[in-house]
Amino acid sequence: MKAPGKIHVTVWLFGLAGAALFTGLLVRQGIGQVWDAFATAEWTILGIVVYHLIPVFFDALGWGVLFPKSDRPRLFQLLWMRWIGESVSTLVPSAAVGGDIVRARLAAISGTPLPVAAGSVLVDITLGIFIQAGFTLLGLFLLVDRTGKTSFVGPTLVGVVVALFAFVGFYFVQRLGIFRFLARIISRLAGSSDWQSLVQGGDTLDGTVRSLYARRGGVIGCCIWTMASLIIGSGEIWLALWALDLPASVVNALILQSTVLTIRSAAFAVPAGLGVQEGGYLVVGNLLGIPGEGAFALSLVARAREIGLGVPGLITWQFIEARRLWRVRARLAANAR
């Protein structure tokens, strides 16, 4: 019971730190000025919410190609599972991994074998680390080309190298059979033969992950669709720049999308990247000639999109779980008669 308590305390501490940073930055930029800038977006925010479904669709395609055809959910199922997973990752304080667990669970509930559901998500996450590193380098190149400033190149490259090491390490431990290894350790510590099924389950998951990586077409397809999602996702930043009467260009949108995603990923422990995302917009926006209140308003538009699309996603998730729980209870009650 103590460990979960420590985890919850840590999450709350990071959340409070993020909230304090958010508030400090907002006060510094001027609450009135930021609100006036944000208000100019008006109904464009609704368009941005709808537009975001396009990159979510591409993410669903990237995840879908990893499945063997015999176990692949329908595209519509992949889309709503991806949407719900992103909603959980964005709005629930779970260090950004909760959404991936949820979509693996939803895939299994929908009829996909559990090892395939979990394995596809693991492979998708691993490839996503690699693709985002490449997208970060693209944004870095564009930013240096646009501004001529190089002071941030070193720290960014260090971050990219760390991300690539994480990708390589995560990839190789999966190929080496990490899940069977962990299950065997737990089984030995438990000192009971009852845990043998856990070892067998870990072995099955290891084999499934290896088979997914062996499908080269699926791996390449996932990388292509993921990169397409990141690039097309910058379109919503372009819409926000245009709506807020800020310097709107494809290059600026790509730079902001790349760098802010990188900063937010680096600060994954902060729930929803609160404060960190706003700081990223302010720093990069300043380099691109965007005034502080406009950059903060740009982040608020992104927050509005997250809430506008994320809250319905969370409600849908709870509805699915409640309906499944009701069906299980009804079945148990019927069997007890």
- How confident is the model over 237-265, as pLDDT tens digits? 999 999 999 988 999 999 999 988 888 87
Average of pLDDT values for 210-222?
93
What is the DSSP secondary structure assignment for residue 74, as one 8-state letter? P
- pLDDT over threshold 50, residue 149: yes
**DSSP three-state, residue 190:** helix
Q: For residues 157 and 160, what is the distance between their CA atoms, to the nearest angstrom?
A: 5
Report whether 291 contacts 279 (CB < 8 A). Answer: no
Report whether 233 contacts 302 (CB < 8 A). Answer: no
**What's the pLDDT band for 195 if we cut at 50, 70, 90?**
very low
- pLDDT over threshold 50, residue 10: yes
Cα 292 to Cα 114, 278, 303, distances in angstroms: 47, 10, 17
Report whether 174 contacts 183 (CB < 8 A). Answer: no
Q: How many CB atoms lie within 10 A of CB 1?
A: 4
Nearby residues of 100 by Cβ (< 8 Å), 6 or more positions away: 85, 89, 121, 124, 125
CA 132 to chain centre: 11
Q: Which two tokens stand for residue 320?
A: 């699915």
- pLDDT over threshold 50, residue 93: yes
The lowest-confidence range among 156-170, 215-229, 299-313 is 156-170
pLDDT of residue 2: 45
**DSSP three-state, residue 174:** helix
pLDDT of residue 186: 44
The amino acid present at 55, given as its one-letter code, is P
Please tell me the pTM assigned to this model.
0.85
Q: Give 111-114's long-range contacts (Cβ < 8 A, gap of 24+).
A: 111/73, 112/67, 112/71, 112/72, 112/73, 113/71
pLDDT of residue 184: 55
Q: How many degrees, rounded to 5, is the angle at CA 155 between CA 154 and CA 157?
A: 65
pLDDT of residue 194: 46
pLDDT of residue 237: 94
| Residue 128 main-chain phi, psi, to 5 deg | -65, -35
Residue with tokens 């667990």: 101
pLDDT of residue 29: 82
**What's the pLDDT band for 1 if we cut at 50, 70, 90?**
very low
Cα 213 to Cα 25, 68, 199, 218, 261, distances in angstroms: 44, 11, 21, 8, 26
Residue with tokens 């779980």: 321
**How many percent of the chain have pLDDT more than 90?**
36
Q: For residues 170 and 320, what is the distance between their CA atoms, to the nearest angstrom?
A: 32
Q: For residues 309 and 291, what is the distance between their CA atoms, to the nearest angstrom?
A: 27
pLDDT of residue 35: 83
Nearby residues of 302 by Cβ (< 8 Å), 6 or more positions away: 236, 237, 240, 277
Nearby residues of 119 by Cβ (< 8 Å), 6 or more positions away: 205, 208, 209, 211, 212
Q: For residues 82 and 55, what is the distance between their CA atoms, to the nearest angstrom?
A: 11
Tens of pLDDT, residues 97-115: 678 889 988 998 888 988 8
Residue 87, CB half-sphere, CA atoms under 13 Å: how many?
22
pLDDT of residue 3: 47
Q: Which two tokens stand for residue 151?
A: 């002071």
